[in-house]
Amino acid sequence: MSLLDHFSAELDELKQQGNFRQFTQNVQHGRFITIQNKTMLNLASNDYLGLAADINLRQEFLDSFPIERSYFSSSSSRLLTGNFEEYEQLENSLSQAFSGRAALLFNSGYHMNIGILPAVADSKTLILADKLVHASMIDGIRLSGAQYVRYRHNDLQHLEQLLQKYHEDDKIERIIVVTESIFSMDGDETDLAALVQLKKRFAKTMLYVDEAHSIGVRGQQGLGCAEQYNVIQEIDFLVGTLGKALAAVGGYIICDPIIKDYLINKMRPLIFSTAQPPIVIAWADFIFQKVLASQSQREHLKNISQYLQQAVVQKGYDSPSTSHIIPVIVGESQAAIDKAKQVQKSGFYAMPVRPPTVPKNSSRLRISLTSMVQQHELEELVSFL
Protein backbone atom coordinates (compact mmCIF):
# COMPACT_ATOMS: atom_id res chain seq x y z
CA MET A 1 0.00 0.00 0.00
CA SER A 2 1.49 3.29 -1.06
CA LEU A 3 0.19 6.68 0.05
CA LEU A 4 -0.16 7.44 -3.65
CA ASP A 5 -2.75 4.68 -4.17
CA HIS A 6 -5.54 6.93 -2.95
CA PHE A 7 -4.69 9.60 -5.50
CA SER A 8 -4.24 7.23 -8.41
CA ALA A 9 -7.58 5.57 -7.64
CA GLU A 10 -9.29 8.97 -7.77
CA LEU A 11 -7.60 9.70 -11.08
CA ASP A 12 -8.74 6.34 -12.45
CA GLU A 13 -12.28 7.20 -11.51
CA LEU A 14 -12.03 10.52 -13.37
CA LYS A 15 -10.69 8.66 -16.40
CA GLN A 16 -13.60 6.21 -16.27
CA GLN A 17 -16.09 9.09 -16.17
CA GLY A 18 -14.32 10.73 -19.10
CA ASN A 19 -13.52 13.71 -16.86
CA PHE A 20 -9.72 13.39 -16.62
CA ARG A 21 -8.04 16.69 -17.46
CA GLN A 22 -4.61 17.25 -18.93
CA PHE A 23 -2.67 19.98 -20.69
CA THR A 24 -2.46 19.98 -24.46
CA GLN A 25 0.35 21.84 -26.11
CA ASN A 26 -0.51 24.25 -28.87
CA VAL A 27 1.03 26.85 -31.12
CA GLN A 28 -0.93 30.01 -31.90
CA HIS A 29 -0.53 32.31 -34.85
CA GLY A 30 -3.06 35.09 -35.39
CA ARG A 31 -6.54 33.62 -35.25
CA PHE A 32 -5.31 30.09 -35.83
CA ILE A 33 -4.24 27.42 -33.39
CA THR A 34 -2.21 24.29 -34.15
CA ILE A 35 -2.66 21.20 -32.02
CA GLN A 36 -0.94 17.93 -32.89
CA ASN A 37 -0.10 19.20 -36.36
CA LYS A 38 -3.66 20.22 -37.08
CA THR A 39 -4.28 23.92 -37.72
CA MET A 40 -7.74 25.25 -36.87
CA LEU A 41 -9.56 28.55 -36.51
CA ASN A 42 -9.34 29.33 -32.79
CA LEU A 43 -12.88 29.57 -31.41
CA ALA A 44 -11.82 29.00 -27.81
CA SER A 45 -9.83 32.17 -27.24
CA ASN A 46 -10.32 34.97 -24.69
CA ASP A 47 -8.23 37.34 -26.79
CA TYR A 48 -11.46 39.05 -27.75
CA LEU A 49 -9.95 42.02 -29.59
CA GLY A 50 -7.01 40.13 -31.08
CA LEU A 51 -4.51 42.28 -29.20
CA ALA A 52 -2.52 39.41 -27.64
CA ALA A 53 -2.13 37.85 -31.09
CA ASP A 54 -0.89 41.05 -32.74
CA ILE A 55 2.84 40.76 -33.39
CA ASN A 56 3.18 44.38 -34.49
CA LEU A 57 1.85 45.59 -31.16
CA ARG A 58 4.44 43.55 -29.30
CA GLN A 59 7.15 45.05 -31.47
CA GLU A 60 5.85 48.57 -30.97
CA PHE A 61 5.80 48.09 -27.20
CA LEU A 62 9.25 46.55 -26.94
CA ASP A 63 10.75 49.26 -29.19
CA SER A 64 9.30 51.98 -26.99
CA PHE A 65 10.14 50.48 -23.60
CA PRO A 66 13.60 51.21 -22.16
CA ILE A 67 15.64 48.22 -21.00
CA GLU A 68 16.40 49.97 -17.67
CA ARG A 69 12.71 49.84 -16.81
CA SER A 70 12.17 46.31 -18.13
CA TYR A 71 11.81 44.56 -14.79
CA PHE A 72 10.62 40.98 -15.07
CA SER A 73 10.08 40.83 -11.33
CA SER A 74 8.97 43.33 -8.72
CA SER A 75 10.72 41.14 -6.13
CA SER A 76 8.25 42.19 -3.45
CA SER A 77 4.70 43.03 -2.41
CA ARG A 78 3.70 46.60 -3.24
CA LEU A 79 3.53 47.38 0.47
CA LEU A 80 7.24 46.65 0.82
CA THR A 81 9.56 47.61 -2.05
CA GLY A 82 7.47 46.34 -4.98
CA ASN A 83 5.52 49.49 -5.75
CA PHE A 84 7.03 50.39 -9.12
CA GLU A 85 5.66 53.44 -10.96
CA GLU A 86 4.05 51.22 -13.61
CA TYR A 87 1.26 50.16 -11.23
CA GLU A 88 0.31 53.72 -10.42
CA GLN A 89 0.45 54.67 -14.10
CA LEU A 90 -2.02 51.95 -15.03
CA GLU A 91 -4.21 52.74 -12.01
CA ASN A 92 -4.23 56.39 -13.13
CA SER A 93 -5.20 55.38 -16.65
CA LEU A 94 -8.02 53.22 -15.33
CA SER A 95 -9.17 55.89 -12.91
CA GLN A 96 -9.21 58.51 -15.65
CA ALA A 97 -11.19 56.27 -18.01
CA PHE A 98 -13.65 55.26 -15.27
CA SER A 99 -14.84 58.78 -14.45
CA GLY A 100 -12.29 59.50 -11.72
CA ARG A 101 -13.17 56.55 -9.48
CA ALA A 102 -10.30 54.83 -7.67
CA ALA A 103 -8.55 51.83 -9.28
CA LEU A 104 -6.46 49.07 -7.72
CA LEU A 105 -4.58 46.24 -9.43
CA PHE A 106 -4.23 42.59 -8.44
CA ASN A 107 -2.04 39.74 -9.62
CA SER A 108 -4.90 37.98 -11.39
CA GLY A 109 -8.67 37.94 -11.62
CA TYR A 110 -8.62 34.85 -9.44
CA HIS A 111 -6.57 36.61 -6.73
CA MET A 112 -8.96 39.53 -6.98
CA ASN A 113 -12.10 37.47 -6.38
CA ILE A 114 -10.66 35.27 -3.64
CA GLY A 115 -9.17 38.33 -1.94
CA ILE A 116 -11.72 41.13 -2.07
CA LEU A 117 -14.74 39.22 -0.76
CA PRO A 118 -13.02 37.89 2.39
CA ALA A 119 -11.59 41.37 3.04
CA VAL A 120 -14.91 43.20 2.84
CA ALA A 121 -17.43 40.58 4.04
CA ASP A 122 -17.66 39.53 7.70
CA SER A 123 -20.19 37.61 9.78
CA LYS A 124 -22.56 40.62 9.69
CA THR A 125 -22.52 40.55 5.90
CA LEU A 126 -24.89 38.56 3.73
CA ILE A 127 -23.73 37.68 0.23
CA LEU A 128 -26.39 37.06 -2.42
CA ALA A 129 -24.75 35.47 -5.46
CA ASP A 130 -26.04 34.46 -8.88
CA LYS A 131 -26.17 30.66 -9.16
CA LEU A 132 -23.68 30.66 -12.06
CA VAL A 133 -20.90 32.97 -10.82
CA HIS A 134 -17.32 31.96 -11.62
CA ALA A 135 -15.45 29.55 -9.34
CA SER A 136 -13.15 32.35 -8.15
CA MET A 137 -16.11 34.20 -6.61
CA ILE A 138 -17.41 31.00 -5.02
CA ASP A 139 -13.98 30.48 -3.47
CA GLY A 140 -13.92 34.10 -2.27
CA ILE A 141 -17.36 33.70 -0.70
CA ARG A 142 -16.29 30.49 1.04
CA LEU A 143 -13.13 32.10 2.40
CA SER A 144 -15.08 35.10 3.68
CA GLY A 145 -17.05 33.39 6.44
CA ALA A 146 -20.06 35.52 5.47
CA GLN A 147 -23.51 33.96 5.23
CA TYR A 148 -24.50 33.42 1.66
CA VAL A 149 -27.48 32.53 -0.46
CA ARG A 150 -27.52 31.86 -4.21
CA TYR A 151 -30.28 33.28 -6.36
CA ARG A 152 -31.52 31.62 -9.54
CA HIS A 153 -29.38 32.48 -12.53
CA ASN A 154 -30.14 35.94 -13.84
CA ASP A 155 -33.43 36.00 -11.97
CA LEU A 156 -33.71 39.50 -10.51
CA GLN A 157 -37.19 38.74 -9.20
CA HIS A 158 -35.75 35.99 -7.06
CA LEU A 159 -33.02 38.38 -5.94
CA GLU A 160 -35.66 40.96 -5.04
CA GLN A 161 -37.52 38.41 -2.89
CA LEU A 162 -34.31 37.57 -1.06
CA LEU A 163 -33.51 41.25 -0.53
CA GLN A 164 -37.00 41.81 0.90
CA LYS A 165 -36.58 38.85 3.20
CA TYR A 166 -33.12 39.65 4.56
CA HIS A 167 -33.07 43.43 4.44
CA GLU A 168 -35.17 43.69 7.60
CA ASP A 169 -32.86 41.37 9.56
CA ASP A 170 -31.08 43.54 12.14
CA LYS A 171 -28.18 41.13 12.46
CA ILE A 172 -27.27 41.82 8.84
CA GLU A 173 -25.46 45.13 8.41
CA ARG A 174 -24.57 44.81 4.75
CA ILE A 175 -25.76 42.79 1.77
CA ILE A 176 -23.36 42.30 -1.13
CA VAL A 177 -24.91 41.14 -4.41
CA VAL A 178 -22.33 39.25 -6.47
CA THR A 179 -22.73 38.66 -10.20
CA GLU A 180 -21.05 38.73 -13.60
CA SER A 181 -22.15 41.05 -16.36
CA ILE A 182 -21.58 38.58 -19.24
CA PHE A 183 -21.58 34.96 -18.05
CA SER A 184 -18.78 32.72 -19.25
CA MET A 185 -20.73 29.56 -20.02
CA ASP A 186 -24.07 30.82 -21.33
CA GLY A 187 -22.88 34.10 -22.84
CA ASP A 188 -26.01 35.75 -21.49
CA GLU A 189 -25.90 38.93 -19.44
CA THR A 190 -27.24 40.58 -16.31
CA ASP A 191 -29.53 43.55 -16.78
CA LEU A 192 -27.17 45.94 -15.00
CA ALA A 193 -29.55 48.89 -15.23
CA ALA A 194 -32.30 46.89 -13.49
CA LEU A 195 -29.81 45.57 -10.94
CA VAL A 196 -28.79 49.13 -10.06
CA GLN A 197 -32.45 50.16 -9.72
CA LEU A 198 -32.99 47.25 -7.36
CA LYS A 199 -29.97 48.18 -5.26
CA LYS A 200 -31.27 51.71 -4.86
CA ARG A 201 -34.40 50.38 -3.14
CA PHE A 202 -32.43 48.50 -0.47
CA ALA A 203 -30.13 50.84 1.42
CA LYS A 204 -27.87 48.16 2.94
CA THR A 205 -27.00 46.74 -0.46
CA MET A 206 -23.70 46.94 -2.33
CA LEU A 207 -23.04 45.56 -5.84
CA TYR A 208 -20.09 43.38 -6.86
CA VAL A 209 -19.94 42.91 -10.65
CA ASP A 210 -17.27 40.90 -12.49
CA GLU A 211 -16.73 42.18 -16.03
CA ALA A 212 -14.11 39.59 -17.04
CA HIS A 213 -15.81 38.92 -20.38
CA SER A 214 -17.04 42.43 -21.10
CA ILE A 215 -14.04 44.67 -20.38
CA GLY A 216 -12.68 45.71 -23.77
CA VAL A 217 -15.73 44.32 -25.53
CA ARG A 218 -18.70 46.47 -24.41
CA GLY A 219 -19.24 50.20 -24.22
CA GLN A 220 -18.06 52.96 -26.54
CA GLN A 221 -14.55 52.91 -25.03
CA GLY A 222 -14.60 49.24 -24.11
CA LEU A 223 -15.07 49.87 -20.39
CA GLY A 224 -17.59 47.04 -20.16
CA CYS A 225 -21.32 46.65 -19.64
CA ALA A 226 -21.10 49.25 -16.86
CA GLU A 227 -20.17 51.83 -19.50
CA GLN A 228 -22.72 50.48 -21.98
CA TYR A 229 -25.56 50.86 -19.44
CA ASN A 230 -24.15 54.02 -17.91
CA VAL A 231 -23.81 52.66 -14.36
CA ILE A 232 -20.06 52.97 -13.71
CA GLN A 233 -20.69 55.14 -10.65
CA GLU A 234 -23.32 52.84 -9.17
CA ILE A 235 -21.36 49.61 -8.83
CA ASP A 236 -19.50 49.46 -5.53
CA PHE A 237 -17.07 46.73 -6.58
CA LEU A 238 -16.57 46.89 -10.35
CA VAL A 239 -13.96 44.24 -11.11
CA GLY A 240 -12.37 42.63 -14.15
CA THR A 241 -9.36 40.82 -15.51
CA LEU A 242 -6.41 41.99 -17.59
CA GLY A 243 -6.08 38.43 -18.89
CA LYS A 244 -8.76 38.36 -21.57
CA ALA A 245 -9.42 41.26 -23.98
CA LEU A 246 -6.65 43.25 -22.26
CA ALA A 247 -4.04 40.79 -23.49
CA ALA A 248 -1.97 40.75 -20.29
CA VAL A 249 -2.40 39.19 -16.86
CA GLY A 250 -3.86 40.69 -13.70
CA GLY A 251 -7.09 41.93 -12.16
CA TYR A 252 -8.47 45.34 -11.24
CA ILE A 253 -11.19 46.98 -9.19
CA ILE A 254 -12.91 50.30 -9.80
CA CYS A 255 -14.32 51.57 -6.51
CA ASP A 256 -14.53 54.37 -3.97
CA PRO A 257 -11.11 55.54 -2.62
CA ILE A 258 -12.19 54.31 0.83
CA ILE A 259 -12.62 50.77 -0.49
CA LYS A 260 -9.23 51.01 -2.19
CA ASP A 261 -7.51 52.00 1.07
CA TYR A 262 -9.44 49.31 2.90
CA LEU A 263 -8.27 46.61 0.48
CA ILE A 264 -4.65 47.78 0.70
CA ASN A 265 -4.92 47.28 4.45
CA LYS A 266 -7.02 44.13 4.60
CA MET A 267 -6.72 42.06 1.44
CA ARG A 268 -4.37 39.14 2.04
CA PRO A 269 -3.54 38.14 -1.58
CA LEU A 270 -2.57 41.77 -2.19
CA ILE A 271 -0.51 42.12 0.97
CA PHE A 272 1.23 38.74 1.02
CA SER A 273 2.14 38.11 -2.62
CA THR A 274 4.88 39.54 -4.84
CA ALA A 275 3.37 42.12 -7.18
CA GLN A 276 3.19 41.55 -10.93
CA PRO A 277 6.27 42.05 -13.09
CA PRO A 278 6.36 45.82 -13.82
CA ILE A 279 6.89 45.12 -17.54
CA VAL A 280 3.57 43.25 -17.68
CA ILE A 281 1.80 46.23 -16.13
CA ALA A 282 3.49 48.64 -18.56
CA TRP A 283 2.29 46.39 -21.38
CA ALA A 284 -1.24 46.32 -19.91
CA ASP A 285 -1.26 50.13 -19.84
CA PHE A 286 -0.03 50.25 -23.44
CA ILE A 287 -2.78 47.78 -24.42
CA PHE A 288 -5.43 49.65 -22.41
CA GLN A 289 -4.81 52.77 -24.51
CA LYS A 290 -5.34 50.65 -27.66
CA VAL A 291 -8.51 49.14 -26.19
CA LEU A 292 -10.03 52.58 -25.61
CA ALA A 293 -9.70 53.22 -29.35
CA SER A 294 -10.74 49.77 -30.63
CA GLN A 295 -14.28 50.75 -31.66
CA SER A 296 -14.06 49.06 -35.05
CA GLN A 297 -13.00 45.73 -33.54
CA ARG A 298 -15.86 45.95 -31.05
CA GLU A 299 -18.31 46.72 -33.84
CA HIS A 300 -17.08 43.78 -35.93
CA LEU A 301 -17.21 41.44 -32.94
CA LYS A 302 -20.78 42.54 -32.25
CA ASN A 303 -21.81 41.91 -35.86
CA ILE A 304 -20.33 38.44 -36.17
CA SER A 305 -21.68 37.55 -32.71
CA GLN A 306 -25.21 38.48 -33.74
CA TYR A 307 -24.81 36.48 -36.92
CA LEU A 308 -23.72 33.35 -35.05
CA GLN A 309 -26.31 33.70 -32.25
CA GLN A 310 -29.08 33.77 -34.87
CA ALA A 311 -27.59 31.00 -36.99
CA VAL A 312 -27.27 28.65 -34.00
CA VAL A 313 -30.92 29.19 -33.03
CA GLN A 314 -32.03 28.78 -36.66
CA LYS A 315 -30.23 25.44 -36.71
CA GLY A 316 -32.55 24.40 -33.91
CA TYR A 317 -30.20 24.59 -30.93
CA ASP A 318 -30.87 26.19 -27.59
CA SER A 319 -28.61 29.17 -27.08
CA PRO A 320 -29.22 31.85 -24.46
CA SER A 321 -26.33 34.01 -25.72
CA THR A 322 -26.56 37.74 -26.28
CA SER A 323 -22.79 38.13 -26.55
CA HIS A 324 -19.61 36.93 -28.26
CA ILE A 325 -19.68 33.76 -26.09
CA ILE A 326 -22.06 31.43 -27.87
CA PRO A 327 -22.83 27.96 -26.54
CA VAL A 328 -24.37 25.36 -28.82
CA ILE A 329 -26.30 23.33 -26.26
CA VAL A 330 -26.68 19.69 -27.27
CA GLY A 331 -27.63 18.06 -23.93
CA GLU A 332 -25.77 14.81 -23.43
CA SER A 333 -22.11 14.83 -22.45
CA GLN A 334 -21.17 12.45 -25.27
CA ALA A 335 -23.07 14.52 -27.83
CA ALA A 336 -20.98 17.56 -26.87
CA ILE A 337 -17.77 15.59 -27.24
CA ASP A 338 -18.89 14.25 -30.63
CA LYS A 339 -19.91 17.70 -31.83
CA ALA A 340 -16.55 19.14 -30.79
CA LYS A 341 -14.68 16.36 -32.59
CA GLN A 342 -16.73 16.95 -35.70
CA VAL A 343 -16.13 20.71 -35.88
CA GLN A 344 -12.46 20.28 -35.01
CA LYS A 345 -12.12 17.84 -37.89
CA SER A 346 -13.62 20.53 -40.11
CA GLY A 347 -10.98 23.03 -38.98
CA PHE A 348 -12.67 24.88 -36.11
CA TYR A 349 -11.26 24.67 -32.61
CA ALA A 350 -14.12 24.85 -30.11
CA MET A 351 -14.26 22.88 -26.89
CA PRO A 352 -17.00 20.78 -25.30
CA VAL A 353 -18.19 21.83 -21.83
CA ARG A 354 -19.86 19.24 -19.63
CA PRO A 355 -21.08 18.77 -16.06
CA PRO A 356 -20.00 19.67 -13.43
CA THR A 357 -18.94 22.87 -15.17
CA VAL A 358 -22.51 23.25 -16.52
CA PRO A 359 -25.80 21.71 -15.27
CA LYS A 360 -26.75 18.14 -16.24
CA ASN A 361 -28.25 17.73 -19.72
CA SER A 362 -26.88 21.07 -20.87
CA SER A 363 -23.56 19.89 -22.26
CA ARG A 364 -22.46 22.11 -25.04
CA LEU A 365 -19.97 23.19 -27.60
CA ARG A 366 -18.69 26.53 -26.36
CA ILE A 367 -17.74 29.02 -29.05
CA SER A 368 -16.02 32.22 -28.07
CA LEU A 369 -15.51 34.72 -30.85
CA THR A 370 -12.76 37.26 -31.28
CA SER A 371 -12.62 40.26 -33.60
CA MET A 372 -10.08 38.35 -35.73
CA VAL A 373 -12.75 35.90 -36.92
CA GLN A 374 -14.36 36.62 -40.27
CA GLN A 375 -17.99 36.28 -41.25
CA HIS A 376 -17.34 33.81 -44.11
CA GLU A 377 -15.47 31.55 -41.68
CA LEU A 378 -18.52 31.42 -39.44
CA GLU A 379 -20.78 30.71 -42.40
CA GLU A 380 -18.65 27.67 -43.08
CA LEU A 381 -18.79 26.65 -39.40
CA VAL A 382 -22.58 26.93 -39.39
CA SER A 383 -22.82 24.54 -42.32
CA PHE A 384 -21.10 21.93 -40.11
CA LEU A 385 -23.43 22.37 -37.13
Q: Indicate the residue among 160 and 191 with the shorter CB distance to ligand PLP.
A: 191
Query: Which secondary-structure segment (H or E) carries 96?
Result: helix 85-97
Closest distance of CB 27 from ligand PLP, Å: 21
The single residue among 50, 82, 109, 216 that binds ligand PLP, judged by CB under 6 A, is 109
Binding residues for ligand PLP restricted to 308-327, rule: CB under 6 A: none
Closest distance of CB 367 from ligand PLP, Å: 16
Q: Indicate the residue among 199 and 213 with the shorter CB distance to ligand PLP.
A: 213
Binding residues for ligand PLP restricted to 245-284, rule: CB under 6 A: 251
Burial class (CB in 10 A: 0-12, 13-18, 19+), 10: exposed
Secondary structure class of 59 (helix, strand, coil): helix
Candidate segments 24-32, 56-64, 106-114, 323-331, binder of ligand PLP by CB under 6 A: 106-114
**What residues contact 203, with CB distance under 8 A and at least 6 apart?**
none
Closest CA to 198 of 149, 225, 237, 231: 231
CA distances from 221 to 228, 246, 292 (A): 9, 13, 5
Q: Is residue 86 involved in binding ligand PLP (CB under 6 A)? A: no
Q: Indicate the residue among 33 and 182 with the shorter CB distance to ligand PLP.
A: 182
Candidate segments 14-22, 205-213, 291-299, 365-373, binder of ligand PLP by CB under 6 A: 205-213
Candidate segments 114-122, 210-218, 272-280, 376-384, binder of ligand PLP by CB under 6 A: 210-218
Counting other chains too, the contacts that 21-29 makes at CB distance below 8 Å and 24 or more residues apart are 28/53, 29/53
Q: Indicate the residue among 40 and 132 with the shorter CB distance to ligand PLP.
A: 132
Phi and psi at residue 276, in whole multiples of 5°? Answer: -55, 155
Closest CA to 374 of 326, 307, 294: 307
For the chain, what percentages of helix, strand and coil (3-state, to nearest 5) are there? Answer: 40, 20, 40
Candidate segments 108-116, 154-162, 282-290, 316-324, binder of ligand PLP by CB under 6 A: 108-116
Query: Which secondary-structure segment (H or E) carries 289?
Result: helix 278-292
Query: Which secondary-structure segment (H or E) carries 269?
Result: helix 268-271
DSSP state of 203: T
Per-residue binding letters, 132-161, with ligand PLP (x by CB under 6 A)? --x-x-------------------------
Per-residue binding letters, 212-251, with ligand PLP (x by CB under 6 A)? xx---------------------------x-x-------x
DSSP state of 82: -
DSSP state of 197: H
Candidate segments 207-215, 272-280, 316-324, 329-337, binder of ligand PLP by CB under 6 A: 207-215
Residue nearest to ligand PLP (CB): 109
Binding region for ligand PLP (CB under 6 A): 108-110, 113, 134, 136, 180, 184, 210, 212-213, 241, 243, 251
